[in-house]
Amino acid sequence: MAGALYGRPRRGPGAGGRGPGSYNRPTMPTPAPEELETLRHSAAHLMAAAVCELFPGAEYAIGPAIADGFYYDFLLPGDRRLSAEDLPPIEARMREIASRRPAFERVELGREEALEAFRRSGQRFKVEIIEALPADERITCYRTGDFFDLCRGPHVPDAGAIPAFRLLHPAGAYWRGDERRPMLQRIYGTAWLTAAELEAHLQRLAEAERRDHRRLGRELDLFSTGEELGGGLILWHPNGAMVRSLVEDHWRAAHQAGGYQLVYSPHVAREQLWATSTHLQFFADDMYGPVDVDGVPYRLKPMNCPFHILIYRSRMRSYRELPLRLAELGTVYRNERSGVLHGLLRVRGFTQDDAHLFCTPEQMPEEVRRAVAFSREMLAVFGFRDLLVELSTRPEKAAGSAEQWAAAEAVLRQVLDTEGLEHRLDPGGGAFYGPKISLYVRDALDRPWQCATIQFDFIQPENFQLEYIGADGTPHRPLMVHRTLLGSLERFLGVLIEHYAGAFPLWLAPVQCRLITVGDEQLPYARTVAERLRAAGLRVDVPDHPGERMQLKIRQGELQKIPYLGIIGQREVAAGSVSLRDTRTKVQASLAVEALAERLRVEAQRRG
């Protein structure tokens, strides 16, 4: 049960409620400087002013500055919905208003006065906001031309002082984020101090689009999804399966070297097991319905922990065999709501790189420290060294005693100190069964992604009555920690694809070197070179469609982001060499076959 967050994309720390795409595509967590924030908030006002002019009677809700931009939520007359075509006229009206340079005029009102003003203009959301403010709070409003809004400020001097902005896209958003309340029309925009910065930001958005793992997944023939298959399910094609299996091979080897024992567990289990683990009680909405097996209900597994617990409990355990570390690449199924599915990043069937640590209380600090250090090593292999760390503490509703929580949180804090990791607090963000550490990687575009979580669990050892016999000969209850390093393989591969923009480092490339002949006569030689390289453990292919021109094959190799292309013509056959083209640097070099094999073999060893 713990570890339910495994495999789910989460906002990066500090990215809460951020701009476009913040949920699945978290943006930079660093707060915008105040100047930009003011500018963006003023741009939101300007947009609201334009919307109110174009849609008389529009009600406006909230319009904050967010990372990289701003938004404003509206309820339009006649419950009008917005589509992308509505944006250009709104943006045009904004520019028109801005050209008149109306000032942002600050107005202070008494509470009753303000309530009266917004009641009169039919702004029920503003009335609700004011009613929720403390009675003694001074109410400030800003007037911009005809647009009057409740607002703390500050603002730029006038609406002409917003140098560069662009509306991006409309979206639906519930009032106060509550799905029982009205659905409002949100418009996202971005605003910057200079046109150059705006342009750079739009370039970044285009770059993120270019790196979209769904696009690259199709272009590089890595994986597919589809209507016939069903939402949230992934088919791994040979290229993607190769990358995944390389990641898995590394993962298994590292775990075996790191004192873990690998296990396997089935995809379904009797419903009664999920009752014991209390998943049926607390996680039922995410689980698929029962399957009848000889009159007994079974369920697809949403998590691996009950299985690992059964392995632990399969016989009497002595303190001498603790800590016990059981690890599995375990495929789980969760009934994610259709609207949240997203490529590889949010799916219904995924493989967690899961492990459960069972240990004595005395062993716990060292176990957690090892897990954190192990996570860092694992992520560094993929080039992720700059991590964001978050410590999630006791929520309001929590199982376990206050002492248990305090002790566990102290252990986590101590470990972060020992490891020299600066962290950010996520107060009340722990699961109800225990606190956790989350590690976020930052990808090539500096976007944070939650990968590793290390999470205490106070209740499963109770649910399953786990025991070990201590040195004193009496039974004790072990402590249990869930941990994952990559999150889920699906999501991690999605992150890797975007991080590398599809150009995998040599050790992960599905094809490491393609041998391209200038004419068909060189094919036999090319095949012997391929065999030599394969003998060195390299993944090599030789396209042999007769009559295909070298230029075309080079282009295809470039588009497929194959790291090395080896060109072979008469000269190379005569010299026993290969003309090597590095598709990343475009550098060309002529190498003897043995030198080529050695060079690629050495590079393919490199990680991180």
Per CB under 7 A, which region of 38-46, 133-141, 307-315, 566-574 contacts RNA? 566-574
User: Of 540, 489, 484, which Cα lies nearest the Cα of 516?
Assistant: 540
Site for RNA (CB under 7 A): which residue of 199, 321, 386, 558? 558
User: Of 399, 453, 397, which Cα lies nearest the Cα of 428?
Assistant: 397
436 is catalytic: yes
Per CB under 7 A, which region of 29-37, 276-284, 320-328, 482-490 contacts RNA? 276-284
Catalytic residue, candidates 123, 352, 512, 560: 352
Cβ atoms < 10 Å from Cβ of 281:
10
Hey, which residues does 327 pair with through a beta bridge?
262, 355
| Residue 386 in the binding site for RNA (CB under 7 A) | no
| Residue 505 in the binding site for RNA (CB under 7 A) | no
| Residue 21 in the binding site for RNA (CB under 7 A) | yes
| Residue 572 in the binding site for RNA (CB under 7 A) | yes
Alpha-carbon distance 142 to 361, whole Å?
Answer: 58
Q: Which pair of tokens denotes residue 605?
A: 């060893």
Hey, which residues does 299 pair with through a beta bridge?
269
Pairing of strands 564-568, 513-517: parallel
Catalytic residue, candidates 8, 186, 346, 356: 356
305 is catalytic: yes
CA dihedral of 544, 547, 551, 557, whole degrees rounded to 10: -20
Output the smallest distance, CB 523 to RNA, in A. 9
Using CB under 7 A, count the residues that bind RNA: 83
| Residue 453 in the binding site for RNA (CB under 7 A) | no
User: Of 217, 247, 244, 239, which Cα lies nearest the Cα of 562?
Assistant: 239
| Residue 282 in the binding site for RNA (CB under 7 A) | yes
Output the smallest distance, CB 280 to RNA, in A. 9
Q: Which of residues 328-357 bind RNA (CB under 7 A)?
A: 337-343
Q: Tell me whether residue 22 or residue 375 sits nearer to RNA (CB atom).
A: 22
* Contacts of residue 203, Cβ cutoff 8 Å, sequence gap at least 6: none
Q: Which of residues 133-192 bind RNA (CB under 7 A)?
A: 169-174, 177-179, 183, 185-186
Cβ atoms < 10 Å from Cβ of 223:
25
* Helix residue spans in 258-284 (DSSP H): 271-276, 279-282
Per CB under 7 A, which region of 157-165, 371-379, 407-415, 549-557 contacts RNA? 549-557
What is the Rg, in whole angstroms, of the alpha carbon atoms belonging to the chain? 29
Site for RNA (CB under 7 A): which residue of 99, 203, 272, 570? 570
Catalytic residue, candidates 68, 149, 353, 354: 354
Catalytic residue, candidates 334, 342, 370, 581: 334
Q: Tell me whether residue 1 or residue 242 sits nearer to RNA (CB atom).
A: 1
Q: Which of residues 429-448 bind RNA (CB under 7 A)?
A: 431-433
Question: Length of the chain in residues, anyone?
Answer: 608
Pairing of strands 324-333, 261-262: parallel
Q: Tokens 């007994």 — which residue?
A: 296
Exposed/middle/buried for residue 482 (C-beta within 10 Å: 0-12, 13-18, 19+): buried
Question: For 94-163, where are the E strands, in sequence order?
Answer: 104-109, 139-144, 147-150
Q: Which of residues 68-87 bind RNA (CB under 7 A)?
A: 81-84
Site for RNA (CB under 7 A): which residue of 12, 13, 20, 306? 20
What are the φ/ψ torsions at residue 540 (nearest 5 degrees)? -130, 145
Output the smallest distance, CB 90 to RNA, in A. 14
| Residue 218 in the binding site for RNA (CB under 7 A) | yes
- Secondary element (H or E) of residue 54: helix 34-54
Query: 266: helix, coil or strand?
Result: coil
| Residue 567 in the binding site for RNA (CB under 7 A) | yes
Site for RNA (CB under 7 A): which residue of 41, 126, 166, 214? 214
Q: Tell me whether residue 158 or residue 390 sits nearer to RNA (CB atom).
A: 390
Q: How far is CA 232 from CA 300, 511, 579, in A?
A: 15, 27, 44
Q: Which pair of tokens denotes residue 227?
A: 């209507």
| Residue 271 in the binding site for RNA (CB under 7 A) | no
Per CB under 7 A, which region of 22-30, 56-64, 131-139, 403-411 contacts RNA? 22-30
Q: Which pair of tokens denotes residue 555?
A: 């282009």
356 is catalytic: yes
| Residue 579 in the binding site for RNA (CB under 7 A) | yes
Catalytic residue, candidates 52, 151, 305, 451: 305
Output the smallest distance, CB 343 to RNA, in A. 5
Q: Tell me whether residue 386 or residue 521 sits nearer to RNA (CB atom).
A: 521
| Residue 318 in the binding site for RNA (CB under 7 A) | no
Pairing of strands 164-174, 147-150: unpaired
Handedness of CA 502, 507, 508, 513 (dihedral sign): positive
| Residue 232 in the binding site for RNA (CB under 7 A) | yes
| Residue 279 in the binding site for RNA (CB under 7 A) | yes
User: Catalytic residue positions?
Assistant: 305, 334, 352, 354, 356, 436, 482
